[in-house]
Amino acid sequence: MWRSGVTTFARGRQAQASPAPGSPAAPARARPAAVLAVIAAGGLAAIALWWTGTPPIHGLGDWLTNAGRLTGLACGYGVVVLVALMARLPPLERGIGADRLARWHAMGGRYIVSLVVVHAVLITWGYAVTAHTNVISQTKTLLVSYPDVLAATFGGLMLVGVGISSARAARRRLRYETWYYLHFYTYLAVALAFSHQFAIGAEFISNLGARIVWGTMYAGVGAAIGWYRFVTPARQAARHQLRVLSVQREGPGVVSIVITGRHLDELRAEAGQFLRWRFLTRGLWWTSLPYSLSAPPRPDRLRITAKQLGGHSHALAALRPGTRVLAEGPYGALTAAARRQRKVLLIAGGVGITPLRALFQAIPAGPGDLGLIYRVSSDSDVVFRRELEQLARQRGAQLWIISGRRADLGGDPLTPAALTTNVPDLAQRDVYLCGPPGMTAAVTQALRAARVPARQIHHESFEF
Amino acid sequence: MRRIILAIVSTTAALVFLLTFKTHNVSSVTAPPAAVGTPSASAGGGSGTSSGTGTSSGASPTPSSTPSGGSGASGSGSGISSAKTVTGDAADTIYGPVQVQITVKNGKLTAANATMYPTETPRDAQINAFAIPQLEQETVAAGNANIDAVSGATYTSNGYITSLQSALSKAGI
């Protein structure tokens, strides 16, 4: 059994699990595999467009040029996919989750940015070979006498710049907001590069149908961006009129904020989800902060809890009641809807306790069917201790608070063996996992080693 | 690192795969449709191995004009030695029509001039800027339509040769 620093509560009196808040018809959730299939199908359609529109090729010049066309098509399609992933489409956010979407976007982004460079090189080289000129003069010709290529080149350079600024080495040096606003240049880059597809793209020049479809794709994603990232938050702001109700210190560097508003049930927020909050006060109004609900959402109030990380949280502690708040969301796939088994185990690492605290209260589970492991580096990092203990008693749930660094505990307390010893029916449980990326990765490995099926492991890691 | 290598390898493989398929289609194909009824044989078709350097690819269209007593032009080789200009029928290519006009003096081809060729896109203009003069030069040098297509300008070359043959048959040579 886990040793010092552990508090264990066996099941106490019989208690009813708090019923899940009645939810209306379940909102649409996209399945990750289905989304990937759709993306792949679109890519194949783009390749088919090249295939049907290209006469037989022979010679180095043809090879290079057509390789350049294929990569160009892939880029033109790829940027649309990348933007769509970040358009905050509700089915994607609920079904795939913001962190996974961000990871897909990051991986795809690196690929597409590289592909843009490859496309430019191949086209220039291919044209040069076919026209029997050298690459330098061909570059000049392309930039000067081919329509829209100069604009597209600027767009491409912008994309490369954004890509560089998003590399891990760069992000460590950049403040989050700086990187965030730099990233908006991608919209400008796409706009600049769009027209050269139709002006000189071999597949589009004489194919009106292709132009219509392609243009519709771009327009559709643009409309989605406008609707879900601009119009919807504005509508929500007007509808809900969110304001700070109270600010409460939970512990050293941790503060809870209760937010009130009207018609909050229409948000359809679920325990385990987060929203992106914009507090309209000096120092915070220009940044959007993702914080999870730390208690199940009520029709008249929402509670979030934030840990002190950099300048923002100082400002958060100083928030005055009555401050207006804009919120986007809710987002996140770490909800009761992901559940398949009767029994549930929640594993929280550090600040990851926030969404799991809400699930600990709201996820439907009978006595003995729910457990929470709360892993922290030191006792002072524990938040919600009294609330958690109270909930454990009320719900007949198990609660383990494991504090202390590995060195002090004599190793990692969350090994497969330790997990199965303390939670014997681990493999029959749905495990919800939330914490820093390193911790979630390690625990996921341990769970898999303990034979918990991958589809029963649900996790969200805070790396935006 | 593994993902990077995987991305590079699979992208390259996909590109090579797709492009190879397009190249294979070429080996047994005949030249693109020409408006005039003269079949140009596998001009450009058999040159799947051309290296794309400055030399023309080998192609020899079969001259098809049937010896005719004066098709559309004045007599053959009688004493009149004035130069006459004959324009061949325009030959269609997928990028646009090509039409060739030749000057014949004493039954010999002395000049060739492409009066119409694709210039719609900057690409067409760039390619034909070097292809057309080369074809015209070769025509005069050969004196007939037995000229090589210009590598990288297959369609223009085929259209040119087709129209040239039409002009030659109209001129009776």
DSSP B48-88: TT---SSSPBP--PPP-PPP-S-SSS--SSSS----EEEEP
What order do you get walking across the sheet with A274-279 strand by strand? A289-292, A274-279, A324-331, A242-251, A254-260, A301-307
Contact A433, A347 (CB under 8 A): yes
Lowest mean pLDDT among A83-92, A284-293, B29-38: B29-38
Can you read off the two tokens belonging to residue B168? 């030659």
Contact A155, A193 (CB under 8 A): yes
pLDDT value, residue A213: 95
Q: Which of B7, B32, B48 is nearest residue A58 as measured by Cβ atoms?
A: B48
Beta strands in chain B (DSSP E): 84-87, 91-93, 96-105, 108-116
Which residues, in sequence order, are CB contacts of B29 under 8 Å at separation 6+?
A56, B42, B45
CA atoms of A458 and B15, how far apart (whole Å): 37
Please calculate the CA angle A338-A340-A342 and round it to the nearest 5 degrees: 125
pLDDT value, residue A396: 93
Give the residue on A whose Cα is nearest the Cα of B57. A59
> Is it the case that residue A8 has pLDDT exceeding 70?
no
Q: Which residues of A touch B3 (CB under 8 A)?
A: 107
Which residues, in sequence order, are CB contacts of A27 under 8 Å at separation 6+?
A90, A91, A94, A268
More confident residue, A167 or B80: A167
Condensed to tens digits (0 to 9), the pLDDT of residues B55-98 reads: 444 344 444 444 443 344 444 444 455 778 888 888 888 788 89
Across the interface, whether the CB atoms of A59 and B152 are under 8 A apart is answered: yes
Q: How far is B106 from chain A (nearest CA, A)?
A: 37
pLDDT value, residue A84: 96
Across the interface, whether the CB atoms of B15 and A67 are under 8 A apart is answered: yes
Give the residue on B whose Cα is nearest the Cα of A110. B4
Provide the mean pLDDT of chain A: 87
Q: Which residues of B touch A71 (CB under 8 A)?
A: 15
SS3 A373: strand
Please, which pLDDT band fits residue A431 given cuts at 50, 70 and 90? very high
Q: How far is B68 from chain A (nearest CA, A)?
A: 36
Give the residue on A whose Cα is nearest the Cα of B31. A56
Contact A248, A256 (CB under 8 A): yes
Mean pLDDT of the region A367-373: 93
Give the residue on A whose Cα is nearest the Cα of B55. A132
Phi-psi group of A302: left, alpha or beta (phi > 0 → left; psi -120 to 50 → alpha; rest → beta): beta
Residue listed under structure tokens 């025509």: B139
Q: Which of B7, B19, B121 is nearest residue A111 as measured by Cβ atoms?
A: B7
Give the residue on A whose Cα is nearest the Cα of B28. A56
Report which DSSP code applies to A36: H
Number of Cβ within 10 Å of residue A310's Cβ equals: 9
DSSP string, A259-296: EE-SSGGGG---TT-EEEEEE-STTTTT--EEEEBSS-
pLDDT value, residue B71: 41
CA atoms of A362 and A356, how far apart (whole Å): 10
CA atoms of A277 and A406, how far apart (whole Å): 34
> Is it the case that residue A18 has pLDDT exceeding 60?
no
Q: Is the bond preceding residue A330 a cis peptide, omega within 30 degrees?
A: yes
Closest CA to B167 of B116, B109, B117, B128: B109
pLDDT value, residue A275: 92
CA atoms of A368 and A393, how far apart (whole Å): 11
Q: Which residues of B touch A59 (CB under 8 A)?
A: 50-52, 151-152
A247: enclosing H helix or E strand = strand A242-251
CA atoms of A213 and A198, how far apart (whole Å): 12
Q: Which of B7, B54, B122 is nearest residue A146 as measured by Cβ atoms?
A: B122
> Is it the case that residue A88 has pLDDT exceeding 80?
yes
Of the residues B4, B19, B28, the best mutation for testing chain A's interface (the one with the most A CB atoms within 10 Å of its CB) is B19
Across the interface, whether the CB atoms of B152 and A67 are under 8 A apart is answered: no
Q: Which of B44, B52, B122 is nearest residue A145 as measured by Cβ atoms?
A: B122
More confident residue, B108 or A324: A324
Contact A117, A156 (CB under 8 A): yes
Across the interface, whether the CB atoms of A131 and B152 are under 8 A apart is answered: yes
Q: How far is A60 from chain B (nearest CA, A)?
A: 6
Mean pLDDT of the region A288-312: 85
Mean pLDDT of the region A385-412: 89
Please, which pLDDT band fits residue A313 given cuts at 50, 70 and 90? low
CA atoms of B72 and A392, how far apart (whole Å): 104
Which parts of chain B sit beneath pLDDT 70?
24-81
SS3 A323: coil
Condensed to tens digits (0 to 9), the pLDDT of residues A21-46 reads: 444 456 677 888 999 999 999 999 99
Of the residues A49, A52, A58, the best mutation for testing chain B's interface (the one with the most B CB atoms within 10 Å of its CB) is A58
Please, which pLDDT band fits residue A323 given cuts at 50, 70 and 90? very high
A243: enclosing H helix or E strand = strand A242-251
